[in-house]
Structure 1
């Protein structure tokens, strides 16, 4: 136990709110027959979430290129229904939360609070009024680009274009703010992030982005953008994907380095966790013959942090923060307190 700590790191982790702002597990669940969704989630993912101490889990709705463009909206709705079904059939353990009150009630009885997010929203295209329907179905966080170009904005893989949001993208930001949906800048191109910072009137979130000052990768945020997000009252959730943390040989210490950089820059209230655990998801959804497709997409090696390949490894982050002498309250803030505060304060219209 560290000097000044009132409990062990294990006890600290087990009593903290642990919020994972980005886990693509829904992609692995929905890939199975409908009749297997709930059992597969209960067998494969629930034990991992419990082992990691996860109490608040954002579930991205990510639409694989296989379904784009014609089937993107159908798959979006199917994935939302998947989340609703696994919640209904595992009601003792998880709750699909639409409001801050839902989250608090779930946490109070020991259930994992699940929150739906759209990642790049390819099923919407230019028909942004669909965001109203998707909000009604439970979506509470939205991003509008991935690596490539959409009708609303360019993703980070298109940074060379220097493109801001399209006119419809600007309308989308205003509509999402009206609905009380959090806007997610992760994956958005650098010029797009700057554009959003200029027009946003509500807090922003980066659900899974790290610091470009430590690793110069287009998927990471510049110091200027980190400060901008913090200035809105938002949170930057650090990505654990190894190639985004270091050029090679990334470790748990690199995760903490990125956390500490953001804290030093923008304050401890501006940081959360967005691990982006994809190892199991890709292993179970990518056919063997195209196993290297994600490498071509990212333009980098597909590698993972030892011990942090999935949510069960999250207590290691707490252990390392304690080892570096962090204060208990600050650790709790980073593990999930900051994300919970953001959700409590900004789910729903202003």
Structure 2
């Protein structure tokens, strides 16, 4: 198991660690990452790490763009201050170069778009700064789309959202449908001309939560050539006491429905963020009836990722399929991203 895990390319499509980096003085952003996060990523065998830019409520709406730029700057400083072990990658060629040199490839993403409102030209600005993946919304409604918590409204993309799909396809930036509402996902899949991804989502057929994707959505993402990164968050996996087998159940279902070339990992390791940001008086934090402190044993952070490989082997997946799930599928799609900024 250890051999397979560390020989394979491991790609994690969602880790909110930038939220913790920017809580510290900018002078220690790079050193904090190296001391706190790099050892965990290395122990977990991570070769490609997507870094979402998520803007918490206290920064919305006025401070959303400023906080986004701080987080993007933090990612650049992490890469510049740790150039021997990581690289911030804008293209598939840069990802390949990072992997060849033994460094971790870091990829920037937007989780929701509160920072742009309906000024979609700012997506081009953010792409210039290195953003390679964009999701239009979080749980709620933005000027582009509805989040999954708004499913009852049946809202599709706005005119700005439709224009954003066209712009991102032109720029070579991946569209991420995790958190996007059901009707808006369908609308994106109708319009997209390039692979669509879900960086951190689970299967609705396995556990009925609005954040999870239906079988039709899974097939639709696969039809674009995209990948679904399965989320490790216990509240999306099961109503029972979570076990790693619940995660594997979601992975196996998505393999059955979407195919082995369209499944990956999107850990959503959020425990440290909640631990640091949520005041003691508000603990445990309950989100939609889920205690966020309940975690899959062993999967509290990146260091536990080899356990996923072990569980996939025990489930009966072959080594070639496991390599695809661990990272090859996401790397394939990311290699198709580029920085096609019009001159």
Q: Specify if TM > 0.5.
A: yes
Looking at structure 2, the residues matched to 324 and 300 of structure 1 have their Cα atoms a distance apart, in angstroms, of 27
Looking at structure 1, the residues matched to 283 and 172 of structure 2 have their Cα atoms a distance apart, in angstroms, of 38
Looking at structure 2, the residues matched to 292 and 141 of structure 1 have their Cα atoms a distance apart, in angstroms, of 31
Q: How does 1:157-306 map to 2 (within 5 A)?
A: 157-292=149-284, 295-296=286-287, 298-302=288-292, 303-306=294-297
Q: Does 1:344 align with 2:335?
A: yes
Q: Kindly indicate whether the alpha-carbon contact (under 8 Å) linking 1:24 and 1:61 is maintained by their aligned counterparts in 2.
A: yes
Aligned residue pair count:
340
Aligned residue in 2 for 1:47: 39
Aligned residue in 2 for 1:4: none
Q: Kindly indicate whether the alpha-carbon contact (under 8 Å) linking 1:177 and 1:349 is maintained by their aligned counterparts in 2.
A: no
Mind listing any 5+ residue stretches in structure 1 that lack a counterpart? 1-8
SS in 1 for 2:307: helix
Q: Kindly indicate whether the alpha-carbon contact (under 8 Å) linking 1:182 and 1:347 is maintained by their aligned counterparts in 2.
A: no
Query: TM-score scaled to structure 1, two decimals?
Result: 0.95
Q: Does 1:332 align with 2:309?
A: no
Q: 1:134 aligns with which of 126, 131, 138?
A: 126
Q: Kindly indicate whether the alpha-carbon contact (under 8 Å) linking 2:127 and 2:339 is maintained by their aligned counterparts in 1.
A: no
Query: TM-score scaled to structure 2, two decimals?
Result: 0.97
Query: What displacement does 1:300 show?
Result: 2.3
Aligned residue in 2 for 1:3: none
Query: What displacement does 1:211 show?
Result: 0.1
Looking at structure 1, the residues matched to 192 and 282 of structure 2 have their Cα atoms a distance apart, in angstroms, of 39
Q: How does 1:300-319 map to 2 (within 5 A)?
A: 300-302=290-292, 303-319=294-310
Deviation by residue 1:233-268 (Cα, 9 ceiling, x = unmatched) = 000010000010001212100111111101111210
Looking at structure 1, the residues matched to 176 and 282 of structure 2 have their Cα atoms a distance apart, in angstroms, of 29
Looking at structure 2, the residues matched to 194 and 12 of structure 1 have their Cα atoms a distance apart, in angstroms, of 37
Looking at structure 1, the residues matched to 181 and 46 of structure 2 have their Cα atoms a distance apart, in angstroms, of 30
Mind listing any 5+ residue stretches in structure 2 that lack a counterpart? none
Aligned-residue RMSD, C-alpha: 1.2
Looking at structure 2, the residues matched to 285 and 337 of structure 1 have their Cα atoms a distance apart, in angstroms, of 33
